[in-house]
Amino acid sequence: MSIRDLSPAQLVPMVLEGNVRAGSRLMRFLDDRVEGSTEVLKDLFPHTGKARIIGFTGNPGSGKSTLVNQMVRHYRAQDLKVGVVCVDPSSPFSGGAILGDRIRMNSHANDPDVFIRSLATRGAMGGLSRSTYDVVHVMDAMGYDLILVETVGVGQDELDVMKLAETCVVIMVPGMGDDVQAIKAGILEVADIFVVNKADHPEVHRTIKDLRYLQSLLPQATGWEPPIHSTIATTGEGIEGLANHLSDHIDALRASENGLATRNRARNEHVLMTILRANLSDRVEEEVKSAGEPLLDALVSRTVDPYEAAEELLQRIIQP
């Protein structure tokens, strides 16, 4: 029987063996919310928690994909299995992912120990898609040593990656944005490591100076203070130094009292709340469709106000 003919539950044993085709198929089921797909996560979840998750975020055009591509090459040279989750903008026509990131990482396409998965945002806020957490769990259960998560691009609300990853890398480039916008975007709070990419730009030293000044405005850090590291991702310059910073950060978390445990606990709480919100949203949409035209007619005629209607729908969900 072909893998394409298997149900989500039938794919689980193959996923736990690291079968790439089975993992890819299950990720597709999860992203499309195929019936029965999320239920199998309970069989995979006990086998997760081993992979190290590193998040990469930054403004569009900062070189995130090129930098992640170089990090994959670095970790593969150490014989580590690497999973990559790229959250791409949704296509305005198909609703699927615009696969720019996978195209840029095509050099790893034939490496059996590199798994690259693109996900469309599908309207999700926070820089990650709704399926990102599920796909990370599948890769973790498949035995990947590192999972690199690249967001669609940081903005004022696109900060979920800091809640998913153990280490969050914020990528900036010289000559883009200003200090006020940097503060508004919240990147100072998100970053465990700052990377100033395209360091061959003439304004790189000014950017680093501005970042250091902004850091000085924050309360004095206790424990880990985010370093500012320069790279030229197109040539690979600075990649080994970035890998050293990443290692130093995980060592610092392990050395601090409850540092790593606190992050893991916060991550699981965030995943739980994300699932609860998504499931509740689905239930609300179902109730609105079930109420149908009579409810909308009542709102249009002003015989029912929207708050009363919302409360009625909520009661149907709580007490079906």
Per-run averaged pLDDT (10 residues), the chain, 320 residues: 88 95 94 87 93 89 90 96 82 44 65 89 53 92 96 60 87 70 62 93 89 79 86 96 96 86 86 84 84 85 89 80
80 and 222 together in one domain: yes
Question: What pLDDT is stored for residue 95 in this prediction?
Answer: 44
Closest CA to 150 of 57, 245, 234: 57
Paired tokens of 203: 């304004």
112 and 171 together in one domain: yes
Question: What pLDDT is stored for residue 127 in this prediction?
Answer: 43
261 found inside a domain: no
Paired tokens of 97: 């992912």
Question: What pLDDT is stored for residue 274 in this prediction?
Answer: 82
Closest CA to 39 of 8, 15, 3, 11: 8
276 and 249 together in one domain: no
75 and 200 together in one domain: yes
212 found inside a domain: yes
Overall pTM > 0.75: yes
135 found inside a domain: yes
Residue 190 to residue 8: CA distance in whole angstroms:
35
Q: What is the pLDDT of residues 15-33, one digit of tens each?
A: 999 999 999 999 999 988 8
279 and 250 together in one domain: no
Question: What pLDDT is stored for residue 91 in this prediction?
Answer: 46
- Residue 206 domain boundaries: 51-256
Question: What pLDDT is stored for residue 281 in this prediction?
Answer: 84
* Adjacent-strand bridge partners of 119: 87
169 and 225 together in one domain: yes
3 found inside a domain: yes
State the Cα torsion 182-248-146-81 to the nearest 10°: 130
CA dihedral sign of residues 307, 308, 312, 313: negative
Question: What pLDDT is stored for residue 297 in this prediction?
Answer: 87
Question: What pLDDT is stored for residue 33 in this prediction?
Answer: 84
79 and 188 together in one domain: yes
Residue 260 to residue 43: CA distance in whole angstroms:
25
What CATH number corresponds to the domain at position 141?
3.40.50.300
244 and 285 together in one domain: no
222 and 158 together in one domain: yes
Question: What pLDDT is stored for residue 97 in this prediction?
Answer: 43
Outline where DSSP puts E strands in 202-244.
Answer: 228-230
Largest CA distance in the chain: 68
* Adjacent-strand bridge partners of 84: 116, 148
* Adjacent-strand bridge partners of 53: 147
223 found inside a domain: yes
Q: What is the pLDDT of residues 79-125, one digit of tens each?
A: 999 999 988 654 433 444 445 555 556 677 788 899 999 887 654 44
Query: What number of residues does the chain have?
Result: 320
Question: What pLDDT is stored for residue 78 in this prediction?
Answer: 96
66 and 175 together in one domain: yes
196 found inside a domain: yes
The mean pLDDT value of the chain amounts to 83
Domain count, the chain: 3
237 and 312 together in one domain: no
Residues 6+ apart with CB under 8 A from 166: 52, 53, 54, 250, 253, 260, 263, 264, 267
306 found inside a domain: yes
Question: What pLDDT is stored for residue 62 in this prediction?
Answer: 86
DSSP secondary structure letter of residue 137: H
214 and 149 together in one domain: yes
